[in-house]
Amino acid sequence: MSVIKPKLFIILLVMMILVSGCSTPAVSEENVPSTEPVQTVSTESPVDAAPEVTGELVIYSGRSEPLIQPVINAFKAKHPNVEILLKAGSNSELANALIEEQANPQADVFITTELITVQSLAQMGVFQSYMPTGSDQLPAEFLGTDNMWTGLTRRARVIMYNKDLVSENELPASIFDLTDPKWKGQIAAAGSTNGSMQAQIAAMRQLLGEEATEEWLNGLLANEVTFFGGHTDVRKAVGAGEFKLGLVNHYYYYLQQAEGSNVGVIFPDQADGQIGLITNATAAAVVNGSAHTAAAHAFLDFLVSADGQKLFAEQNYEYPLLPGVVLHKAVEPLDGFRFVDVDIVKAALESDATFDLIEKVGLP
């Protein structure tokens, strides 16, 4: 069995959950509820015809309980004879629990907010291969090697700004503009323990190389960017006018906009010669040695289905990976944007080098 460097798990121990949009703006994946297992309650929605599944299903979720609960309730409505136990916590603590429990698995499904954790666990043999029904319609780059995990939703790295402080004619067009001295001390971002920031750095390393990525990180530090533990603080600070710009996942902008803040958003690096839009994904996997494999398979099938993907779009402002699912009406479609030419899976597999670079530059 391959072994992940201790450095990765030191970082995983301190990683916090990404915030994700939902219908209740105060909820955040960076404000994770208790990690004690909680039993879900079924909804009163009509039950669609579906293959009968019974027994238990234990879900470890890096998405906080209020964000994943609507999806679980909808699954429960389709499969009322499944008793579901949810353990919500940070990606890192749940990853460590899965490793400790490998000889006697307690979970059936793991849901994560980024790909670095799920890739690392897959390398350690924590998951079993499963290809959910309909996953052949998902973009290939969001499917794990040997079907060890399945992508669920896409999130884009964007620059949000306070419209009261930044005029249209001075807006940055690229993430590299964030190192321009004119923005010195006026930018907020999530720091080195944040999974989305780590994933962005991993993507940039693969695309641009070590030297250019290091130069960009040093440029952020020289420009006195303020680094927070998570994106909720970033979006709220920009919304309150404490900073002009914030580097966030796209749904943080929509969350802040929904709270009534006068904010705008830039999907960066779209001009000729620029790198394109950086994205990452949430994912789910079936735990190797699961005691309730049939229920686990049915749950992943639901997550990838049109009904499951619609819930992610409507509740969390995210981009469903299943083609044809309608976005939240407030969300800008990705169809017209150029993306970075990066193998997301490969970038996640090179996480050790990413963490080495983060440590080298001293990113907070």
**pLDDT average, residue stretch 212-216:** 98
Is 17 within 8 Å of 47 (Cβ atoms)? no
Give per-residue pLDDT as tens, 36-73: 444 443 333 343 445 589 999 999 998 778 778 999 99
Tokens for 271?
């001009």
Tokens for 328?
């939240």
Q: Is the model's pLDDT at 31 over the cut of 60?
A: no
In this structure, what is the dihedral angle of CA atoms 220, 221, 223, 227, given to the nearest 10 degrees? 80
Q: Is the model's pLDDT at 301 over the cut of 90?
A: yes
Pure H helices in 162-292: 195-208, 210-222, 231-239, 250-258
Q: Cα separation of 111 and 124, whole Å?
A: 17
pLDDT at position 5, please? 44
pLDDT at position 62, please? 86
SS3 content of the chain, % helix, strand, coil (to 5): 40, 20, 40
Entry pTM: 0.80
Q: Which CATH number fits domain 6-154+281-333: 3.30.70.100, 3.40.109.10, 3.40.190.10, 3.40.50.720?
A: 3.40.190.10
Tokens for 91?
């990606």
**Domain residue limits, the chain:** 6-154+281-333, 157-278
Within 13 Å, how many C-alpha atoms sit on residue 14's CB side? 12
CATH number of 157-278: 3.40.190.10
- Burial of 216 by CB count in 10 Å (0-12 exposed, 13-18 middle, 19+ buried)? middle
